[in-house]
Amino acid sequence: MTLTTAPDLKALREQALRLSESQRAEMASALLDSLRPPSTYHSAEELGREIANRAEAYHRGELETISMEESLRQAHEILARKRSS
C-alpha cells in the first residue's frame, strides 16, 4: 500500500488511534525502528559491555563530554538536515 496523499495519511492516523494502547505502542516501536539504522550490537549483553566500558573510560577521564544542551542542539541539527533532504 503506497500512501501518497494527506487524506491517506490522515485516515491511517485515525485508524491507528483506534488501536488499543498496547497495539499503538507496538506500532510506534515498529515505526521508530524503521527510522533507525540497524544496531551494531548483536545482543543486550554486548550492548551492556559497551555501556560499562564507556562509563569506565568516562570515569578515567578518557572521554570528551558535551552538555545536554549541546547534545540536543546537535540532535535537532541532524534531524533538520534529514528532513530537508
Across residues 38-42, what is the average pLDDT?
73
- Mean pLDDT over 15-31 rounds to 92
- pLDDT band for position 4 (cuts 50, 70, 90): low
Q: Which residues contact 16 (CB under 8 A, 6 or more apart)?
A: 24, 27
pLDDT digits (tens, 9 = 90+) for 44-72: 888 899 999 999 999 999 998 999 999 99
User: In this predicted structure, what is the pLDDT of residue 2?
Assistant: 52
Phi, psi angle pair for 53, to nearest 5°: -60, -40
pLDDT at 82: 85
The pLDDT value given to residue 1: 47
